[in-house]
Chains A and B, each alone.
Chain A
Amino acid sequence: MSGRGPRVGVVTFPGSLDDRDALRAVALMGGEPVAVWHADPDLRGADAVILPGGFSYGDYLRAGAIARFAPVMEAVAAFARDGGPVLGICNGFQVLCEAGLLPGALIRNRGLAFVCRWVHLRVEPRPRAGRASGGPTDGEPSGDLAIGAPGEVLQVPIKHGEGQFVCSDEDLAAIEANGQVALRYCSPDGVVDERFNPNGALDNIAGLFNEAGNVLGLMPHPEHAVDPDLGPTGGQAVLRWLFDAARARARVAG
C-alpha cells in the first residue's frame, strides 16, 4: 500500500449501476480505484473491496442471488474470511447477505414503494473500544473500527425497492449483542424511531457489520455523498472506515 491511499477494488456485475460513482468516490477520497470485473478470478491486488449498487442480473430470482455465484465472488469470500475489508452498498449489501457473508436478508420495502431520498443515519458504537476519534492505532485489528464517532449523524441518500432488513429473532439478538449494527435510520438530530424508518428494516438497521467487523453492508449510498460540490458528505465517513480498515490490516500484516 506504501504512502498512497489503499487500492480499492470495485466489482462490476452485469447490471451494476453505481460502480463508476464508487470508483470516483474512492479517487476523491485519496484512494486508488481499481475496476474489477465479475468474471475476474482475483481482486487485482486490492487492499479493500466495494460491491456497488445496481440491479445485478436484473435482480432475477432474488436481489443478489445470482451475483453471489459470479467467479469473482469466490475471491471476495476468501478475502473477507482472511479479514480483508469489504463494503457492500445497496445491491452489494444484498449480495453479501445472499453469499452468507452477512446475516439476514433484504426484502421489499414495507411501504411497497421504491424510495429515493436523503436520509439521516446514526453511527452506532462498536463493542470493544473507544475508537471514536483518530485513526486506528498500531496493531489494532481492522474489525474494531467504527464508521465515525458513536452518535454522529450522517446524511446519505437511499434509492431502493428492496431494502427492508429482516432476519430471525436469534440472529437479531446476536447482531445487537455483538454490536454489529453499524448505522440506523434516524431523525436529523439522531433520534432512532419508526417514523424515520424508510423501509421497515428491523431495529431501523441501515448498515450492518459481520461478527469480525471487516465486512460492512448498507442500503444507503455513501458513494453519492462524498463530493461537497454536490451536497451533503455523509458518505465520506463510510469510505474512511474502509480505508482505515485496509491500512490497519496492512499494518498488522507488517
Chain B
Amino acid sequence: MRYRVVLVVRLKEGLLDPQGKAVEGALPSLGWTNVSHVRVGKDVELVVDAVDEAAVRAQVEEMAHRFLSNPVIEDARIVEVAAEVAGAPGSP
C-alpha cells in the first residue's frame, strides 16, 4: 500500500519561537490586534510504501525522531496518514 503522510514539526512549547514572535509582532500593524501565541513550524509531506498504516506510522515516527526533527528542541506530530487510491490524481 501507498500512503501520503504529513508530519508537522514545531519548536517545543516553552522554547522561544523567534519566527512566531516576528509574525505576532507584525499582525497588529495589519489591523489584527486580537492574535497571540503564534508559533511557526514546518510540515514535511511524504509518500511511503508499506504493508499497513501502523507500519507507516512507526517508520515515520522513527524518521522524525532520528532525522526530520531534533528532539532536543522540536516536537514532531503526524497529522495525516491517507491511503493513496491507485489511479487517483497524483499517484503514479
Contacts and interface: CB of A to CB of B under 8 A. Distances in A.
Among B18, B21, B22, B68, chain A packs the most CB atoms within 10 A around the CB of B18
A109 B72 CA distance: 17
B22 A65 contact: no
A44 interface: no
A168 B18 contact: no
Contact of A105 (B18, B22, B73): B73
B56 to A, nearest CB: 20
A207 interface: no
Contacts of B16: 110, 200
A207 B28 CA distance: 38
Contacts of B67: 61, 65, 69
B72 A168 contact: yes
Interface in A94-125: 97-98, 103-105, 107-112
B59 interface: no
Nearest to A69: B67
A64 B86 CA distance: 38
Nearest to B22: A112
A85 B18 CA distance: 34
Interface string A189-210: 0000000000010000000000
Interface in A50-95: 61-62, 65, 69
Nearest to A106: B73
A166 B22 CA distance: 19
Contacts of B21: 112
A108 B73 CA distance: 11
Given A107-B15, A110-B16, A112-B22, A61 B72 contact: no
Interface in B1-28: 11, 15-16, 18-19, 21-22
A69 B66 CA distance: 11
Interface residues of A, number: 19
A225 B22 CA distance: 33
A108 B72 contact: no
B3 to A, nearest CB: 21
Given A65-B67, A107-B11, A167 B19 contact: no
Given A61-B68, A65-B67, A109 B73 contact: no
Contacts of A104: 72
A108 B19 contact: yes
A19 B41 CA distance: 31
A109 B70 contact: no
A110 B70 contact: no
Contacts of A112: 18-19, 21-22
A222 to B, nearest CB: 25
- 10 closest residue pairs by CB, A with B: A108-B18, A105-B72, A105-B73, A112-B18, A112-B22, A105-B70, A62-B70, A107-B73, A166-B73, A104-B72
10 contacts: A62-B70, A65-B67, A105-B72, A105-B73, A108-B18, A108-B19, A109-B18, A111-B18, A112-B18, A200-B16
Interface of A: 61-62, 65, 69, 97-98, 103-105, 107-112, 166-168, 200
